[in-house]
A and B are shown apart, each in its own frame.
Chain A
Amino acid sequence: MTSIDAADLKRMFDAIAVAIEADKDRLCQLDGVIGDADHGIAMALGFGAVRDALAPLELSATEPTVLLNTAAKSFLNAVGASSGPLYATAFMRGAAAVKGKATLAGADFIALLQAMAQGIQDRGKAEIGEKTMVDAWLPAAQAAAAAHASGKTVSESLAAALQAAERGAEATKDMIAAKGRSSRLGERSLGHIDPGAASAVTVIGAMRKSLG
C-alpha cells in the first residue's frame, strides 16, 4: 500500500474491532489475574463504538485527521476507565500528526504511529519496564520507524512493529507493575502478562493485517 486514505483507516479500525471482540474473553481473563477482569470488555466496547461512529462518515469527503478525532471521541465516551483516555489520546495525537493531509504517505503513517505511542505514554505517565501497554506500544512504534528509515514498506514496518510489540508484551511477565491497578500487587504481579500490553499486540496485529 503506497498511500493510506480515510477509507483504509476505517477498514483498519473495523479490523481492530473484529480482532478485539474475538480476543475479549482472553483479555478479561488476563486482567482477572492481576486486575479487575474488565479490560476485554472496555476494549471491545471502545472499538465497537469507534466502528459505529465511523460507519456514517462520508469517507471520500473525510480527512484522516477528522476520522481519527471521531475515533478518539467515540472511544473515550463509550469507555472511560484507563483505556479510554489512553487510546483517545493516542488517536488525537495521531490526528494532530497528520493534520491537513488528504492521504498518508508511508512516512506520514509512521509519524502517526509514533504520535499514538507517545500520546499513550504522556497520558499514562508510564515508562518502559513498568508493566503497562507502553511496553508494547513504544517498542512497536520505534521498530516501525527504524524499519521504515531503512527502506522497508509500511507493511514490512508494521510487521516489525508487531514483532516488537509481541516481545514487549511477553517481557511484561518478568516485570513488577509500577503503574495502574496492578501496581498495588508488588511482586505478586510477576509472571503475568500485562493485559494492556496484550491488547496492544492484538490492535497492532489487526493494523498490520488490514494495511499490509
Chain B
Amino acid sequence: MQTKKIINDGNRTVDEMLDGILAAHPRHLKSAEGSPRSIIARDGPRQGKVGLVIGGGSGHEPTFLGFVGKGLADAAAIGNVFASPPPDPILGCAKAASGGAGVLFMYGNYAGDVMNFDMAAEMAAMDDIEVRTVLTTDDVASAPRDQRQKRRGVAGNFFIFKAAGAACDRMLSFDECERIARKANDHTFTMGVALSPCSLPQTRRPNFEIGPDEMEIGMGIHGEPGIARGKLKTADEITDEMLDKIFAEMAPARGDKVAVLVNSLGSTPLMELYIMNRRVKQRLDDIGVSVHATWVGNYCTSLEMAGASVTLMHLDAELQTMLDHPCDCAMFRAG
C-alpha cells in the first residue's frame, strides 16, 4: 500500500516545493538566474566576504535552504529527494556567493555529495573562484571515534553552518572562516533515534521496516540503518542512551557550556521533543554543564520519519560568539 502524501506529481515535488518557498520568502530568497536549483540569499553575498555555500538532497527541510540568509549561508544547492545536487547548481551557488575572498563549501559527509561538490569546486576553480570544503561529521553513531572523518553530517549541521556563517558575515579571512568551520564541526555531536520510516514521494513506500514496538538508535537521516535496534523505551531512557554516547565523546567538564538542539526527524511532535529536552537539561545539570542556548523543533528532518535527534555543541568563547551573531534567514532568525 502506498503512503499518503499531499503532492501532485512524485517527480515534481522538489520544484513545486521551491516555487512555494520562493513565493513565501521573497524578501529573503531568490533563485540564481538560469539555475532554479541554486537558492541565493538576497542580502548575503557581498564584496570581500567569504561566501558560504551549503547544500544537499531535499527532504530535510528546513535544512538546507531554510538557513540561507544574512549572517548564515549565502546560497544552497538543492538536490532531488535524498540525492546530492549535481555540480551545475552548486557552481551557480558558488558564483552567486563569491565576493572575491573565497567560497566555503559545507555539507554533510556523503559519498554522492562529495563527488558532486568536488566536481563543482573544480569547475569553480576554472572561473577563478577559490573553493575550500569543510564536511560535517557530527553523527556519533555513524562510525567509531577514531574514524571521525567517516561520519555522516546530520542535524548538527545547524550549529556548524551557523558558526561558519557568522565567521563569514564578520568579514573574517578565508583561513579564519575555514578554521572556525572545522572547529565548529569538531565540537558538535549528534545522536538520533528512529521510530517509524519515511517514504520517498516517487515510491510512496516505507523506506525501511521496523516493528510497531521497536526503535532504532543511530539511524541516519535517510533511513540508513543505525547501530542497534531494540524495544521502544521511555523518553528518559532513550535520551540517556543518546547522551551517554555524546558525553563519552565530548568529555564535558564541570563549568563547561553547551548549546542544545532537540530535533524532530519529521513527524515526532514538539511535545515529545520537549520531554526529551527536559531530560537533557537534568543530565547537564547533574554534571554541572550549563546551557547557553536551546533550540527545539524541526531543524533537520527526514520527510515524515518519526524520531528525534539530540545535538550538543561544546562551546568556548569563540563558538558562543558565533552562535550569538545575528542572522536573518527564511526559516531561522537569531540575535
Contacts and interface: CB of A to CB of B under 8 A. Distances in A.
A38 B200 contact: yes
A52 to B, nearest CB: 13
A28 interface: yes
Nearest to B152: A184
Interface stretch (A76-84, A99-107, A110-118, A148-156): A76-84
A45 interface: yes
A79 B83 contact: yes
A158 B150 CA distance: 37
B79 interface: yes
Interface in B202-230: 202-203, 205, 207-208, 220, 222-225
Interface in A1-58: 25, 28, 32, 34-38, 41-42, 45
Interface in B170-215: 200, 202-203, 205, 207-208
Q: How large is the interface on B (under 10, 10 to 19, 20 to 34, 35 or more residues)?
A: 20 to 34
Interface SS of B by simple majority:
loop
Contacts of A129: none
B200 A41 contact: yes
A205 to B, nearest CB: 23
A37 B197 CA distance: 11
Contacts of A41: 80, 200, 202-203
Nearest to B10: A41
B86 A76 contact: yes
B88 interface: yes
5 contacts: A32-B208, A37-B205, A42-B80, A79-B83, A184-B220
The 10 closest A-B pairs by CB, nearest first: A82-B112, A36-B222, A81-B83, A85-B115, A37-B207, A80-B86, A80-B84, A81-B112, A180-B111, A80-B79
Interface of A: 25, 28, 32, 34-38, 41-42, 45, 76-86, 123-124, 179-185, 188
Interface of B: 11, 57, 79-88, 110-112, 115-116, 119, 142-143, 150, 152, 200, 202-203, 205, 207-208, 220, 222-225
